[in-house]
Structure 1
Amino acid sequence: MLLNLLTSISRIAAALIVILGLLWLLLARPSISFKDASKASPQLVDQPALKKHILMLSEELAPRDYTHPDNLNKVANYIADSLRSSGARVSEQLFEVDGVEYKNIIGEYGPPDQEIIVIGAHYDAKGEFPGADDNASGVAGLLEIGRLLAEKELKTRIALVAFTLEEPPFFRSDNMGSAVYARSLAETGAAVKLMIALEMIGYYSEAKGSQDYPMLLLNLYYPRIGNYIAVVDKMLSTQAQRMKTAMAQVIDLPVYSINAPTFIPGVDFSDHLNFWRYGYPAVMVTDTAFYRNRAYHSEADTAARLDYGKMAQVVYGVFDYVLKLSDEIEK
């Protein structure tokens, strides 16, 4: 009797281990990366420039919510000038919501063909909060990537797009700036190689327990210390795993990926969701937002709390991966 019970328990335990292992393979997509020191040059990223951009958006040009369209226009003009100074072909995408005009800013590099790689970040903020991490950090990363791209000969069109109206009350609506832009790509038949959303890339912590997750199960697969960057993707896609592996080869900051269904809170909480709607491959690069940064959507989300060294590594990792994507020749 006891032997039968022990046998049953051992079988259940073995089955549970197999299930957890399969979930690890499905969600976390473990991979092996070998550092390539000859190609790792995160020092090329201008950390003072990152901080300057974030201070400008979070202090000088705040507040950046939809009720302050004049400020949003000033931010848009600042972004356009920065992209233009890096040699981008800059354009505005104007659209109207409730009688007020808003705009996305688009900076393009490389050949003007139908295939395109999109890197995007929203420049609006929640209410009258500073929004340094959310999402001045993403915009700063976008502008620095533009400066780095200006020095490269590209084989694929790359669009750096600063979106407006990502925050409530427009989130998940057709009035999101990224929804307007993604729809315009679909209508023109653009072939999107990948869309990368930069969503809060500046906050890191070495404290134990500084990292939370939407499901207790994820604590088995990911660290409880918030000192890494995450690449988020939908189920069954390989985009996040490829990007994670490539980034880990050229930066020291730990990189994790997750492929998860959208019912898990946070998986589709940014502009990449609008590209998924049109069947485009898209990922989110993030410090995990409110699962780590306790200052999310508050007055405490200031430039002084951000880690510009780690942010620079993220920017370089994204830049390097985009270059690799641009050099790929479709068979």
Structure 2
Amino acid sequence: MITPAAVAGLLELARLLHQQVPKTGVQLVAYASEEPPFFRSDEMGSAVHAASLERPVKLMIALEMIGYYDSAPGSQDYPYPAMSWLYPDRGDFIAVVGKMQDINAVRQVKATLLSSRYLSVYSMNAPGFIPGIDFSDHLNYWQHDIPAVMITDTAFYRNKQYHLPGDTADRLNYQKMAQVVDGVINLLYNSK
């Protein structure tokens, strides 16, 4: 997790969880060192955390980029042009992404996010060779056979200012960010 939007989402989750504790255990974890030269290394914060877990983990949810939305036609790109036949050309949705083995987890997260009726949600289960499927901290949990999904606005496939000086707070959609957090908190409260 590297984005201020994801950190804000995590802090709001912490506030809500403090008000009402869910039935199942929840760990909120923020990681440093997700970017190069640490990305995909043993020093990556999520790699250290995933390796340290001793008790069974039901699901890891990575809040990646969750705040940039663009409803203009053609604002959404994909790693492969053919994907535009299956997914919208407008970047006004949130995506739930996981590997093939995590199809049930992706479906559960997507269904809960959709239950808010305010978010447009798309999902993808794909093999690791699809670019972007493993571009966040959840990849390190897969290495330990822990189900993990990423909730993302698709980062640079949508936000052309991603990691550039124009990637500023005034370009975030705070209402959509709050809806994502509401969906995640509902998932945590209703998990069995």
- TM-score tier (shorter): over 0.9
Residues 113 and 119 of structure 2 are in contact (CA less than 8 Å); yes or no, is this contact kept in structure 1?
no
Residues 285-324 of structure 1 correspond to what in structure 2 (within 5 A)?
285-324=151-190
241-250 vs 274-283, greater mean Cα deviation: 241-250
In the alignment, structure 2 segments of 5+ residues that lack a partner are none
Residue 261 of structure 1 aligns with an amino acid whose one-letter code is: P
Equivalent residue for 1:209, pick from 74, 78, 81: 74
Q: CA deviation at 1:215?
A: 1.1
2:120 counterpart residue number: 254
Which consecutive residues of structure 1, in runs of 5 or more, have no partner in the other structure?
Answer: 1-121, 124-134
Greater relative contact order structure (CA < 8 Å, 6+ sep): 2
CA contact (8 A) 1:251 1:313 kept: no
Distance across 2 between alignment mates of 1:315 and 1:153? 15
One-letter identity of the residue aligned with 1:264: I
Q: How many residues in Structure 1 have an aligned counterpart in Structure 2?
A: 191
- Give the corresponding residue for 1:109: none
The equivalent of 1:174 in structure 2 is: 42
SS at match of 2:26: strand
Classify the secondary structure of the residue corresponding to 1:157. Answer: coil
Deviations 1:53-84 (A, max 9, x none): xxxxxxxxxxxxxxxxxxxxxxxxxxxxxxxx
Partner of 2:99: 234
State yes or no: 1:271 paired with 2:141: no
Distance 1:289 1:214 in 2: 12
Q: Deviations over 1:193-239 (max 9, x none)?
A: 10000001000001000000011221111100000000001014221
CA contact (8 A) 1:141 1:315 kept: yes
Q: Deviations over 1:96-123 (max 9, x none)?
A: xxxxxxxxxxxxxxxxxxxxxxxxxx24
Query: What is the SS of the residue equivalent to 1:253?
Result: coil
Which residue of structure 2 aligns with residue 165 of structure 1? 33
Which residue, out of 146, 150, 173, partners 1:284? 150
- Amino acid aligned to 2:84: N
4+ residue segments displaced more than 2 Å: none
Do structure 1's residue 155 and structure 2's residue 23 form an aligned pair?
Answer: yes
TM-score by length of 2: 0.97
**Partner-residue secondary structure (3-state), 2:124:** strand
TM-score (norm: length of structure 1): 0.57
CA RMSD of aligned residues (A): 1.0
Measure how far apart 1:259 and its partner are: 0.3
Percent sequence identity is 57
Name the CA distance, whole Å, in 1 between partners of 2:107 and 2:82.
20
Q: Which one has the bigger strand percentage?
A: 1
